[in-house]
Amino acid sequence: MNTRFFADTLVLVNRSLRHILRSPDTIITTAITPIAMMLLFVYVFGGALDTGSDSYVNYLLPGILLITVASGISYTAYRLFMDMKGGIFERFQSMPIARSSVLWGHVLTSVVANLISLAIVVLVALAMGFRTGAGVLSWVAVGGILVLFTLALTWLAVIPGLTAKSVDGVSGFSYPLIFLPFISSAFVPTEGMPGPVRAFAENQPVTSIVNTIRDLFAEQTIGNDLWIALGWCVGILVVAFALAMSTYRRKIS
């Protein structure tokens, strides 16, 4: 059973990746919005923002990476929605394939596509002056956090992908995720925010994830933010996975 699941999932990942290769504007579009934000904040607002950092692009990049992931997972929801409306799921049901591999195919495709988009954003950041003394282990840790964050948001995206009634509905869910970093430490330190805003910013998942990635890039001591970030990512992943699988079973039963 496990062998069949992995084989079926690999086939479906190849199917989804071929769709992306035929339409590379998906990845380009996903990367354009975060890159535009990075250019805007670094070259227009960066000089007016006091972050206590010598390089604003170094301070900004972790938040931009999270926005990149949030932008990318909207395409996962859209591809699922189109498969639901196109009757692909019904066809798969009549074939001898592991049912859960259909969702995993979309999820793993999301991880691959987002990693490509993240690499593009990092390359642009390097061209803009981003520098880090992070070693191999720190880069691996950053990559691991981003993959875990991508998995969590992708399984969250599966739910509207299966349940939305229209294209507008399936694409609209990602907007709050994209704007959540604006009320966090992604763009400016939380210390200067008004009380209620600061309380929200310091106790939502983006701040702990951003702080952890920023410390890893700066080769600074990682504090409790790492465990808080992992807790948020794992918690969202577990809940989203359970809800997505329950919704999927209900839809195909």
Containing structural domain, residue 163: 2-252
The tokens describing 82, both together, are 């189109």
Q: How far apart are CA 150 and CA 109, in angstroms?
A: 11
Domains: count for the chain: 1
How confident is the model at residue 80, as a pLDDT?
82
Number of neighbouring beta carbons within 10 Å of residue 224: 10
Which pLDDT band, with edges at 50, 70 and 90, does 24 fall under? low
Q: Per residue in 123-148, pLDDT tens?
A: 999 999 999 988 999 999 999 999 99
Give the pLDDT score at 2: 62
Q: How confident is the model at residue 198 (pLDDT cuts 50, 70, 90)?
A: very high
Mean pLDDT of 81-101: 70
pLDDT at 90 > cutoff 70: no
Q: Is the model's pLDDT at 251 over the cut of 80?
A: no
Q: Identify the residue with better confidence: 129 or 249.
A: 129
**Averaged pLDDT of the chain:** 86
Looking at the chain, the whole-number percentage of residues with pLDDT higher than 90 is 43
Residue 89's pLDDT is what?
A: 64
Task: Tell me the C-alpha to C-alpha distance, in Å, between residue 19 and each of 24, 109, 137, 221.
Answer: 9, 10, 33, 42
In this structure, of 22-31, 146-155, 182-191, the range with the lowest mean pLDDT score is: 22-31
Overall residue count recorded for the chain in this entry? 253
Query: For 206-231, how does the pLDDT look when each residue is reduced to its tens digit (9 = 90+)?
Result: 999 999 999 999 988 888 899 999 99
Note the pLDDT of residue 105.
84
Query: Alpha-carbon Rg of the chain, whole angstroms?
Result: 19
CA distance 86 to 59: 44
| pLDDT number for residue 20 | 72
Task: Flag whether pLDDT at 192 surpasses 80.
Answer: yes
| Cα(141)–Cα(227) distance, integer angstroms | 13
Q: Is the pLDDT of residue 96 over 70?
A: no
Give which of 146, 124, 123, 125 is closest to 216, Cα–Cα: 146
Q: CA–CA distance from 16 to each of 6, 12, 21, 106, 253 (Å)?
A: 15, 6, 9, 7, 24
Identify the pLDDT of residue 1.
47
Res 29: pLDDT:
72
The values of phi and psi at residue 123, to 5°, are -65, -40
Average pLDDT of span 6-23: 75
Does the pTM surpass 0.85? The reply is: yes
pLDDT at 166 over 90: no
Residue 187 confidence (pLDDT): 92
